[in-house]
Chains A and B, each alone.
Chain A
Amino acid sequence: QSALTQPASVSGSPGQSITISCTGTSSDVGGYNYVSWYQQHPGKAPKLMIYDVSNRPSGVSSRFSGSKSGNTASLTISGLQAEDEADYYCNSYTSSSTLVFGGGTKLTVL
């Protein structure tokens, strides 16, 4: 299975909004509403931010939102804060009953 495609890096200033894309195929992202997003700070375990395309777990800020169109899912962070600087990974269920991650996106808050 091939990794989902994410931009290597994105950046934004405090208070701005950014969007991270995650492109797959009809066998993963496009075929199921089972896309999740994870935030990872250096040296730490990943943290679930979005599941089932657009649902936020309890305790995750409403500044984080997810969506999907066709084979591409997106994570949007509004009102950027310094603490949002981290790596972000998307993940999708696949037609082979497996999970596949994206390559990861480094978010820099300027």
Chain B
Amino acid sequence: QLQLQESGPGLVKPSETLSLTCTVSGGSISSTGYYWGWIRQPPGKGLEWIGSIYFSGITYYNPSLKSRLTISVDTSKNQFSLKLSSVTAADTAVYYCARQGTFYYIDVWGEGTTVTVSS
């Protein structure tokens, strides 16, 4: 059964870069037709799609985050990663990694990891 697990620092200082990694187990990140994405949820608020990547390296980003965002993939480690630069308190959220089936829907979710931006 496919599982996704987020990892990374739980606390990031303002103006620094938030970095998270998602490890995929029980399946290959190189499977054709699947995309790998990041979604976040600020405390008490709704879901926000951050962006996605295909195993070939093609990326799709939320326009509101594009200038600060980098998503990358490491097929040898079956992992994909998120880097968000120049963070502020508004970036405090639970960050989920997920699989997008045929891109258009999210069918497998990680358990989420809380990232707090604070000095």
Q: Which residues of A contact B (CB under 8 A)?
A: 1, 3, 32, 34, 36, 38, 40, 45-48, 51-52, 57, 89, 91, 93, 96-104
Tell me the dominant secondary structure on chain B's binding face: strand
Q: How large is the interface on B (under 10, 10 to 19, 20 to 34, 35 or more residues)?
A: 20 to 34
Tell which of A1, A47, A104 touches B47, judged by Cβ atoms closer than 8 Å: A104
A89-B47 CB under 8 A given contacts A45-B110, A98-B60: yes
Residues of chain A contacted by B110 (CB below 8 angstroms): 45
Residues of chain A contacted by B104 (CB below 8 angstroms): 32, 34, 36, 51-52, 93, 99
Say if the beta carbon of B34 comes within 8 Å of chain A.
Answer: no
Q: Which parts of B32-70 form the interface with A (CB within 8 Å)?
A: 37, 46-49, 52, 60-64
A91-B46 CB under 8 A given contacts A45-B96, A45-B111: no
